[in-house]
């Protein structure tokens, strides 16, 4: 089976990783974050096989369950200089968006060349909507707990309306969305939540708050404040005298506004206040901005000039019209608050404080560019502000802060951030200098695993761990060598600022998404380098080596590498099909030589060998500028009768295998994934075998919905030669099989099932049988030695694996089934014998007086007489419930009750009646009041002994919530004998009706274990007051639990009873009274004189009735063989001579049609055949 391309690649660049799928699409590359994921995070296609954009949902349907409930909406489209359209799709479940469910589709000329992102593959598990929007908002505001909010400041609301339109407001409007606490799209973690954008005025903060729509808890918080047209001349505070563009209000009045760049650049004076509406313009009388003063106004021109230079940089170097590529106005507010030593982007503008103490205003060029770059991130990847995504968010701002500084002040460029304000915040060239890491997992690294974001831990190290990608960028620009904190040597060749920044820019704006981490940044920066500079280029090598230097991924492996494999190397006879998997790196053209005179130029060929032999296989790949490589595998394919023949399961079939050894593959074979909607069975039953052992060589079957439940795709193993044999387990990826499974006898059955969506690699299972070494030693047991029903289940206990059985039940009947069920009809004491045989010999056992049948006496009854086509009423006097049957051995109950009425008889007819006597039920076992306890979700069972066959009718369970749980009856080896699932309501206690007939023996009653994260109800367990045994005398005793003698749980107050009794059957007659005066019923051939014919006969959907003589009948009706009236229709005596009767509702069989009128009755027989 082909394996998925994992997150950390050992080689880069279009490594040709092709995988078994449903064969609708040929993928050049699929990338998964982990082996457990069902949906890739990256897809790519070759130019010649790229699908159309209209096929997007068909592609996703190959990976996503319940695809009809998901939809994808384009929320943004951008075009780059390479001619690609980059479309951002938002995933929705039903009508609600999935917060981090995003897909970036990269299209050229209407064809999808690649796409990447994270989307959910299954329906969110928690979609309960209990709260109103106003209730959720109240809880969100209680969580923020601010003194004043922006919408409560009328001046701020007025300013927003002036800037954004008359309907604009800061008041939060709730949006329902699905989100998880861990920023994933895992369906089990997703919760329906209200999303609010809350801007607090005092104390200042702005965050997206997500409130669980079911219980009001805070699911997630995303901080939105990221801390971090006349030519004029400005004497800036940090960058000397610079040319700026200002707005000329009059010849002697200029202000720091301009509209030449996008939708404008505006710089305002907050006057050390915190209300944006109170900000005023910076003004100058002659447009020579030499405005140094005690208010530090000279630093305002740094903010204005810095914004102009940042806009110009992105426009010139990256062809981007402002941060949103649509001219977004760059608005700066200077002199924010008093002694405010920070700067921030709040989602709509930049704000700069004047510093405090020795720190001067935060308007230095690299800081300005840093804050504006946060806006670029908001309008592109929109990285969440926590953990590694947040560190990337900060790093990209540092990267473009350094890039803008190099662009606008090439003579004063450097690798420190904020050095102009009197204190360097970070060093990109030496992150350790300021306590930041330069290696993932190295010195100063802030661990993000299990970290809960907060202000105290810097949102899990966003400003700290940014040192890692910062150092990556420094090495990419400048080059360097050494040994990192992990002890790995590295060497990086410089590619310069422009190329490095172009790669970083494309990575951020084209590929990365909201929860991208460092591994994603590595992978997609390599893709960006390939896009811009080509495969195997020096730029690709440097990008890869720089990531290796900072502890993310392996070093670059240069050139072309030819490699291939197949799982189909051994065949037992021709024709033999082999699917080759191409694992080469950086190849563009391919040439295969299969060693039998045939060749191919396909990337991933399938080839059929038509003769016996050993075959060399050669692959030559041409990577253009990357080079050429080839590989030969000697005698790689062997087709010989001595090779083991493997079988592939076939959908819709039951295959029987008699070989002692072999291998079985899922329906996809050894090279492909299995398909949807399949049900296949294989029975391995080698002749005369003692046992069969399955060995699981490979197993990959879609996980079930929760816990250890396999309810989507699964493989179930049965201990016998059919799916009716005892189950040895149902397996999938969240309930993996053991390494081996051995049958108790000479047969084992495998059933594979797949549902309507999501497929995986499947399985490769070997089997090996053993043969008996001695003749059988015979023994057997029965479900009961004494029965009042006559029904007994016999179980063979013979050793040495017999292959045939002969039972003699002592009543003149026999069976050759291994474990037969037999029904005795007559009371008595019966000897039972069994002969068991294997290939060594036979053995016999006779158990004298083994079965005692003591059925109650048949009920007393009375016969009845009847006239033709009239009812007969038969009566019985049962002490329980009378059951009526058509014959002595029938299992079909015609009627119940002491009186049985039957009509439309035309001859003497007998029926059979029995007395069904229900045993009384009794309750036993404790309630949960015996002591203290708690709720458990783990696999827990009670051990109990059944002294004689009984019916376990029900138990009480005490859940803590609603959900699905499965109850299992197991033997003492934990083999599952019977199961029953329950959708438990939020009811305490809950009575679970089991209705399990259990023979005498030792058992365990269990509930399948489940993880607490899977939202199944936990069940109550007493941890004190327990006193075993709990007994119903003579019938059953609960003796202990798997947790020990101090624990009792899951199953309370058992309702049990002995089996119900059935009497012998008595024959009761209905006699025809020939003295009645009605016309006798005749067959069709005897009724011609009546002048009625029916056709066609047999009939399908219509029966025509033709009256040859004058019609005197006014009604006709159809009865079945028991006399029950099925159809009835009136007849108009004055109508046409032909009447149509619709028989569509009748099933195949024999029926009678009767005609009634003028004191006459005529009946004819007809047949329905569909």
Active site residues: 371, 463
* Chain CA centroid to CA 869, Å: 62
> What HEC string does 90-128 produce?
EEEECCEEEEEEEEEEEEECCEEEEEEEECCCCCCCECC
The interaxial angle of helices 538-549 and 497-506, nearest 10 deg, is 80
Collapsed DSSP state (helix, strand, coil) of residue 516: coil
> What HEC string does 523-573 produce?
HHHHHHHHHHHCCCCHHHHHHHHHHHHCCCCCCCCCCCECCEECCCCEECC
User: On the CB side of 520, how many CA atoms lie within 13 Å of its CA?
Assistant: 25
Please give the structure tokens belonging to residue 402: 């350094």
Tracing tokens 């296989």 back to the chain, one arrives at 617
Query: Does residue 898 contact residue 924 with C-beta atoms inside 8 Å?
Result: no
In sequence order, what DSSP letters do the residues of 384-442 get, joined into one string?
A: -SSHHHHHHHHHHHHHHHHHHHHHH-GGG--SEESGGGTS--EESS-GGGGT--SSTTS
Rounded to whole angstroms, what are the CA distances from 645 to 545, 614, 680, 1034?
47, 16, 19, 55
- Pair type for strands 85-93 and 96-108: antiparallel
Q: What is the CA radius of gyration of the chain?
A: 41
> What HEC string does 436-471 produce?
CCCCCCCCCCCCCCCCCCCCCCHHHHCCCCCHHHHH
In sequence order, what DSSP letters do the residues of 45-96 get, joined into one string?
A: --GGGPPBGGGHHHHHHTT-TTGGGEEEEEEEEEE-TTS-EEEEEEEEETTE
Residue 125, burial from CB neighbour count under 10 angstroms (0-12, 13-18, 19+): middle
510: DSSP letter: I
**CA–CA separation, 598 vs 607, rounded Å?**
9
Closest CA to 228 of 122, 345, 124: 345
Peptide bond into 1098 cis (omega under 30): yes
Run of H or E residues at 967: strand 963-970
**CA–CA separation, 14 vs 530, rounded Å?**
9
Query: Does residue 103 contact residue 91 with C-beta atoms inside 8 Å?
Result: yes
Tracing tokens 């510093």 back to the chain, one arrives at 355
Closest CA to 45 of 100, 110, 1: 110
**CA–CA separation, 258 vs 799, rounded Å?**
96
Collapsed DSSP state (helix, strand, coil) of residue 597: coil
For residue 131, the tally of other CB atoms under 10 A from its CB is 21
17: DSSP letter: -
The interaxial angle of helices 518-533 and 497-506, nearest 10 deg, is 120
535 phi and psi angles, rounded to 5 deg: -65, 145
Peptide bond into 476 cis (omega under 30): no
Show Cβ contacts of residue 822 under 8 Å, excluding neighbours closer than 6 positions. 791, 792, 794, 807, 809, 813, 815
Closest CA to 233 of 245, 225, 243: 243
Closest CA to 620 of 677, 676, 659, 582: 582
For residue 479, the tally of other CB atoms under 10 A from its CB is 16
């Amino acid at each position: 089976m082909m394996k998925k391309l994992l997150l950390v690649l050992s080689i880069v660049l279009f490594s040709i990783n092709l995988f078994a799928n449903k064969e609708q699409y040929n993928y050049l590359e699929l990338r998964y974050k982990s082996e457990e994921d069902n949906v890739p995070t990256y897809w790519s296609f070759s130019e010649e096989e790229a699908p159309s954009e209209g096929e997007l949902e068909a592609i996703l349907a190959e990976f996503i369950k319940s695809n009809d409930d998901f939809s994808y909406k384009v929320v943004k489209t951008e075009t780059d200089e390479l001619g690609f359209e980059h479309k951002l799709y938002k995933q929705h479940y039903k009508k609600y968006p999935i917060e981090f469910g995003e897909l970036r589709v990269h299209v050229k000329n209407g064809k999808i060349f690649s796409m990447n992102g994270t989307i959910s593959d299954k329906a969110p598990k928690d979609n309960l909507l209990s709260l109103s929007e106003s209730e959720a908002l109240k809880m969100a505001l209680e969580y923020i707990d601010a003194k004043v909010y922006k919408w409560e400041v009328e001046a701020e609301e007025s300013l927003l309306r002036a800037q954004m339109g008359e309907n604009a407001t800061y008041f939060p409007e709730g949006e329902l969305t699905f989100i998880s606490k861990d920023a994933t799209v895992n369906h089990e973690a997703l919760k329906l939540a209200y999303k609010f954008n809350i801007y607090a005025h005092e104390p200042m903060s702005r965050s997206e708050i997500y409130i669980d729509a079911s219980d009001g808890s805070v699911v997630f918080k995303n901080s939105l404040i990221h801390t971090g047209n006349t030519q004029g001349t400005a004497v800036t505070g940090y960058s000397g005298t610079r040319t700026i563009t200002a707005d000329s209000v009059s010849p002697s009045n200029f202000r720091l506004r301009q509209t030449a760049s996008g939708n404008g650049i505006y710089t305002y004076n907050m006057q050390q206040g915190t209300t944006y509406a109170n900000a005023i313009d910076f003004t100058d009388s002659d447009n020579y901005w030499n405005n140094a003063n005690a208010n530090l106004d000279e630093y305002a021109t740094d903010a204005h000039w810095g914004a102009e230079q940042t806009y110009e940089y992105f426009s010139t170097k990256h062809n981007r019209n402002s941060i949103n590529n649509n001219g977004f106005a760059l608005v700066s507010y200077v002199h924010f608050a008093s002694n405010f030593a920070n700067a921030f982007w709040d989602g709509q503008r930049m704000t700069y404080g004047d510093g405090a103490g020795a720190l001067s205003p935060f308007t230095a060029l690299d800081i300005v560019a840093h804050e504006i770059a946060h806006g670029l991130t908001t309008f592109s990847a929109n990285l969440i502000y926590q953990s590694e995504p947040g560190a990337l968010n900060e790093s990209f701002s540092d990267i473009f802060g350094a890039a803008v500084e190099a662009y606008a002040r090439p003579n004063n460029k450097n690798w420190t951030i904020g050095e102009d304000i009197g204190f360097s915040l970070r060093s990109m060239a030496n992150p350790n200098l300021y306590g930041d890491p330069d290696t993932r997992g190295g010195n100063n690294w802030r661990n993000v695993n299990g970290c809960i974001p907060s202000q105290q831990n810097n949102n899990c190290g966003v400003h700290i761990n940014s040192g890692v990608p910062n150092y990556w960028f420094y090495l990419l620009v400048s080059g360097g060598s050494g040994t990192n904190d992990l002890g790995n040597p590295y060497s990086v060749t410089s590619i310069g600022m422009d190329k490095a920044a172009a790669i970083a820019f494309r990575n951020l704006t084209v590929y990365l998404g909201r929860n991208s981490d460092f591994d994603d940044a590595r992978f997609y920066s390599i893709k960006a380098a390939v896009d811009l500079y080509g495969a195997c280029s020096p730029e690709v090598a440097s990008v890869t080596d720089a990531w290796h230097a900072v502890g993310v991924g392996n070093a670059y492996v240069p050139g072309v590498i030819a490699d291939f494999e197949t799982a189909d190397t051994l065949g037992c006879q021709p024709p033999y099909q082999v699917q080759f998997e191409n694992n080469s790196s950086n190849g563009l053209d391919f040439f295969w030589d299969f060693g039998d005179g045939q060749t191919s130029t396909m990337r991933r060929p399938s080839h059929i060998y038509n003769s016996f032999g050993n075959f060399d296989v050669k692959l030559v790949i041409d990577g253009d500028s990357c080079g050429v490589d080839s590989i030969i595998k000697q005698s790689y394919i062997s087709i010989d009768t001595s090779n083991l023949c493997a079988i592939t399961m076939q959908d819709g079939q039951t295959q029987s295998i008699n070989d002692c050894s072999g291998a079985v593959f899922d329906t996809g074979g050894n090279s492909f994934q299995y398909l949807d909607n399949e049900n296949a069975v294989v029975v391995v039953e080698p002749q005369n075998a003692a046992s069969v052992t399955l060995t699981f060589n490979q197993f990959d079957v879609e996980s079930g919905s929760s816990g250890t439940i396999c309810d989507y795709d699964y493989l179930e193993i049965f201990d016998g030669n059919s799916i009716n044999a005892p189950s040895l387990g149902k397996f999938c990826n969240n309930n993996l099989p053991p390494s081996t499974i051995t049958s108790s006898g000479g047969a084992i059955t495998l059933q594979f099932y797949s549902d309507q969506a999501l497929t995986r690699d499947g399985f490769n299972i070997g089997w090996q049988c053993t043969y008996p070494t001695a003749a059988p030693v015979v023994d057997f047991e029965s479900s009961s030695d004494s029965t009042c029903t006559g029904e007994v289940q016999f179980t063979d206990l013979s050793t040495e694996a017999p292959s045939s059985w002969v039972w003699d039940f002592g009543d003149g009947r026999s069976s050759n089934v291994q474990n037969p069920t037999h029904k005795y009809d007559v009371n008595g004491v019966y000897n039972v014998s069994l002969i068991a045989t294997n290939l060594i010999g036979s053995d016999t056992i006779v158990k004298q007086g083994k079965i005692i049948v003591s059925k109650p006496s048949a009920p007393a009854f009375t016969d009845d007489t009847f006239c033709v086509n009239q009812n007969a009423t038969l009566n019985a006097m049962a002490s329980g419930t009378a059951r009526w049957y058509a014959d002595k051995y029938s299992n079909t109950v015609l009627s119940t009750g002491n009186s049985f009425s039957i009509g439309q008889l035309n001859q003497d007819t007998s029926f059979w009646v029995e007395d069904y006597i229900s045993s009384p039920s009794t309750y036993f076992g404790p309630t949960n009041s015996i002591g203290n306890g708690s709720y458990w979700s783990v696999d827990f069972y009670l051990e109990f002994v059944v002294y004689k066959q009984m019916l376990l009718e029900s138990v009480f369970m005490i859940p803590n919530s609603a959900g699905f749980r499965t109850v299992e009856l197991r033997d003492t080896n934990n083999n599952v004998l019977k199961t029953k699932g329950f959708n438990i309501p939020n009811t305490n206690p809950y009575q679970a009706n089991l209705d399990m007939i259990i023979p005498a023996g030792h058992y365990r009653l269990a509930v399948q274990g489940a993880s607490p994260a899977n939202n199944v109800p936990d069940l109550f367990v007493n941890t004190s007051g327990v006193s075993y045994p709990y007994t119903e005398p003579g019938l059953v005793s609960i003796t202990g639990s798997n947790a020990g003698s101090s624990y009792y749980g899951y199953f309370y107050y058992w309702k049990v009873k002995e089996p119900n009794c059935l009497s012998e059957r008595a024959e009761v007659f209905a006699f025809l009274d020939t003295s009645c005066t009605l016309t006798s019923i005749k067959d069709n051939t005897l009724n011609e004189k009546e002048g009625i014919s029916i056709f066609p006969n047999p009939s399908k959907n219509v029966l025509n009735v033709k009256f040859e003589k004058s019609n005197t009948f006014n009604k006709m009706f159809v009865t079945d063989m028991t006399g029950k009236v099925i159809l009835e229709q009136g007849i108009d005596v004055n109508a046409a001579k032909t009447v149509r009767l619709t028989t569509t509702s009748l099933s195949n069989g024999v029926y009678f049609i009767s005609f009634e009128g003028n004191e006459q009755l005529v009946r004819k027989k007809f047949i329905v055949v569909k």
